[in-house]
Amino acid sequence: MKRITALLLCLALALSLTACGKSENKSEPASDPADASAAGSIGDESIWEEEIEVDVPEGYELRAAFDQDNAPYSYLDESGTLVGLNVDVAKEICQRKGWKLNASAVSWEEKDQLLTDGEVDCVWGSASYSEALAEDNGHPWSIHSEIYVDAVVREDSGMAILDDLKGKTIEAEPGALFAVEGDSATELGQQLMKNAAAVNKVESAETAYEDLYNGKCDAVLVSGTGDRQVDFDAFDDIGFQTLYDVDIYSDESDDVVSANGICDIVNGASFPDDAPLYSAVEQTLEDMLSDGGMAEIWKDWQNRENGKYEEVLSRALLYQPDAYGDEYEGEMELDWDELEDMSVLDLEDAEAEEAQAEADPEPEVEAEEDESVLVLE
């Protein structure tokens, strides 16, 4: 329920990723995937304008840069070797596509410049949800997982932004505490802890929602994994809404250009305005999420180094057709077709729909001749 609000907001925003710097870890440009086609090169804007599909051939060298300080997703181990879950995901993609992986470790601040200068094909790392859905700088994201913590209130609470929680009583389920406590606390999480009258820990997200429903607290902090355990049918006579640092619920919400929750981090790869590579990686990620390939890599990294990364990886939700699980889907009375339209990896293929419509056109209905009716020829 809450996630639909967040997805709608983020999909409606037009944001920009900004960064500076230039990588010292250069690699020679690989052969152009479009060499065998008259459609043009990967960076050719005409690919988008003319809607021409270009295959990325086997043997292509994928120049992928990885955030060098983002364990367990990508980092330099004690020997200086680049390792991580994202590195293994990229290796699996290349194996499935018959590509070669040219991996390099970079500072995350360099990512946009690297993509803009064409020094790499993609950059793997983590970013806020709204950043990852930026569209106006030509750096689309292919996302495979998300970690989020939301501050949720009743729709009838009269609260519209996170600042409205000053002096309020908040309940937090265990999975949400990392966003407001210790070194992992986000800036907005720290502000909330400072300004709230009390932040009380409860045993589960279900308990938190029950207390919010019954008026025992003003707001709750819940994580994605916590949300999956809640039967929202029990609260179907009221509505809940997520608070952000700006008001997305007012009549002026169309003017919002950026909105941030307590914590909303996605993980995946950022690309230049690059139809063939982006589409190829996106489709392969979808396949891995659906056939269990991604889950296998995930489980492997949860068990690495005596379970060192099990806790942090357990916070994440994988993007896949059944990302929320059969039980969650059964408990929620949601319009799943509508949800599919708004999700990142489950967006319906508009081109396929258009092709189907052309193949099976609806019969034209001839209107009766009348001065008030426009007859289509």
Domain ranges within the chain, ordered by starting residue: 11-145+265-352, 147-255
Q: Which residue has the higher pLDDT, 257 or 245?
A: 245
- Spatial separation of the C-alpha atoms in residues 189 and 232, rounded to whole Å: 25
Sign of CA dihedral 176, 178, 182, 186: negative
State mean pLDDT over 251-267: 78
pLDDT tens profile 85-141? 999 999 999 999 999 999 999 998 888 888 888 899 999 998 887 777 655 455 788
pLDDT of residue 277: 87
State mean pLDDT over 268-292: 86
Strands (E), 271-367: 317-318
User: Does residue 86 contact residue 73 with C-beta atoms inside 8 Å?
Assistant: yes
Where does the pLDDT of residue 216 fall: very low under 50, low under 70, confident under 90, or very high at 90 and above?
very high
User: For the ranges 31-35, 103-107, 219-223, which has the lowest average pLDDT?
Assistant: 31-35
Residue found by looking up tokens 């181990």 in the block: 77
Instruction: Give yes or no for residue 27 having a pLDDT over 70.
Output: no
Which pair of structure tokens corresponds to residue 216? 């025992």
pLDDT of residue 312: 86
pLDDT of residue 56: 83
**11-145+265-352: which CATH architecture?**
3-Layer(aba) Sandwich (3.40)
pLDDT of residue 347: 34
To the question of pTM greater than 0.75 for the whole model, the response is: no
User: For the ranges 213-222, 256-265, 286-295, which has the lowest average pLDDT?
Assistant: 256-265
User: Does residue 317 contact residue 224 with C-beta atoms inside 8 Å?
Assistant: yes
State mean pLDDT over 335-359: 46
- Spatial separation of the C-alpha atoms in residues 163 and 218, rounded to whole Å: 13
Which pair of structure tokens corresponds to residue 66? 């990885």
User: Does residue 68 contact residue 106 with C-beta atoms inside 8 Å?
Assistant: yes
Where does the pLDDT of residue 302 fall: very low under 50, low under 70, confident under 90, or very high at 90 and above?
very high
User: For the ranges 40-49, 66-75, 172-181, 353-362, which has the lowest average pLDDT?
Assistant: 40-49
**Where is 284: in which H helix or E strand?**
helix 275-291
> Regarding beta strands 100-106 and 61-67, do their DSSP bridges make them parallel or antiparallel, or are they unpaired?
parallel
Q: Helix 275-291 crosses helix 85-97 at what angle (to 10 degrees)? A: 100
Where does the pLDDT of residue 10 fall: very low under 50, low under 70, confident under 90, or very high at 90 and above?
very low
User: Does residue 203 contact residue 171 with C-beta atoms inside 8 Å?
Assistant: no
Backbone phi, psi, residue 244, to 5°: -125, 180
Instruction: Give yes or no for residue 55 having a pLDDT over 90.
Output: no
Query: What percent of the chain clears pLDDT 70, i.e. is strictly above it?
Result: 66
Closest residue by Cα to residue 207 from 192, 197, 196, 217: 217
pLDDT of residue 73: 95
Instruction: Give yes or no for residue 193 having a pLDDT over 90.
Output: yes
pLDDT of residue 358: 67
pLDDT of residue 344: 34
The domains spanning 11-145+265-352 and 147-255 adopt the same CATH topology: yes
pLDDT of residue 353: 59
- Spatial separation of the C-alpha atoms in residues 365 and 1, rounded to whole Å: 40
Backbone phi, psi, residue 349, to 5°: -80, 105
Strands (E), 187-284: 198-201, 219-223, 240-242, 263-270
Burial per residue of 93-111, b for 16 or more beta-carbon CB atoms within 10 angstroms, e otherwise = bbeebebeebbbbbebebb
Mean pLDDT (the chain) is 75
Closest residue by Cα to residue 171 from 214, 204, 200: 200
CB atoms within 10 A of CB 349: 9
Instruction: Give yes or no for residue 316 having a pLDDT over 90.
Output: no
Chain-centre distance for alpha carbon 336: 18
State mean pLDDT over 235-240: 91
pLDDT of residue 356: 67
Strands (E), the chain: 61-67, 69-70, 74-76, 82-83, 100-106, 122-128, 141-154, 169-172, 198-201, 219-223, 240-242, 263-270, 317-318
Sort 125 into a burial class: Cβ within 10 Å, 0-12 / 13-18 / 19+: buried
Where does the pLDDT of residue 201 fall: very low under 50, low under 70, confident under 90, or very high at 90 and above?
very high
For the chain, the C-alpha Rg in angstroms (whole number) is 23
| CATH code 3.40.190.10 for 147-255 | yes
pLDDT of residue 178: 92
User: For the ranges 148-162, 283-297, 352-366, which has the lowest average pLDDT?
Assistant: 352-366
Instruction: Give yes or no for residue 196 having a pLDDT over 80.
Output: yes
Query: What percent of the chain clears pLDDT 90, i.e. is strictly above it?
Result: 44
pLDDT tens profile 130-185? 777 655 455 788 889 989 999 999 999 999 999 999 999 999 999 999 999 998 89
Rounded to the nearest 10 degrees, how much is the dihedral formed by the CA atoms of 348, 266, 81, 92?
Answer: -20
Instruction: Give yes or no for residue 305 having a pLDDT over 90.
Output: no
